[in-house]
């Protein structure tokens, strides 16, 4: 009984470290997505009005706005640049 308890107590800090590292990695990925999205919106060939709409959306909903920009907005901006 004591050996099992000692083993569980020895593994607990390691598990906490792994969870903390995974959380930190997730936060860094979300921040990279956010700032990458903002930079991509600013550098896009969209007109001022649409660029402002995407920027406001990305600022109001950081994760969702940036994600939607990369899946929908960027492709639309490239298509519009090809038309003009």
Q: pLDDT tens, 37-83? A: 999 999 988 888 889 999 999 999 999 999 999 998 877 777 766 66
CA–CA separation, 44 and 64 (whole Å):
18
Q: Which pLDDT does position 27 carry in this prediction?
A: 95
Q: Which pLDDT does position 40 carry in this prediction?
A: 92
Please answer whether residues 38 and 66 qualify as being in contact, where contact means their C-beta atoms are separated by less than 8 angstroms: yes
Q: How many domains does the chain have?
A: 1
pTM of the model: 0.71
Q: H helices within 1-84, ranges in order?
A: 2-43, 48-60, 62-68, 74-83
Residue 40's domain comprises 1-82
Please answer whether residues 65 and 37 qualify as being in contact, where contact means their C-beta atoms are separated by less than 8 angstroms: yes
Q: Which pLDDT does position 77 carry in this prediction?
A: 73
């Amino acid at each position: 009984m004591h050996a099992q308890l000692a083993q569980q107590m020895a593994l607990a800090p390691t598990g906490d470290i792994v969870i903390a590292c995974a959380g930190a990695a997730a936060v860094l990925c979300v921040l990279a997505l956010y700032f990458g999205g903002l930079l991509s919106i600013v550098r896009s060939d969209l007109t001022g009005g649409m660029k402002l709409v995407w920027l406001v959306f990305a600022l109001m909903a950081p994760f969702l706005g940036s994600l939607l920009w990369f899946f929908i907005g960027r492709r639309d901006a490239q298509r519009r640049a090809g038309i003009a």
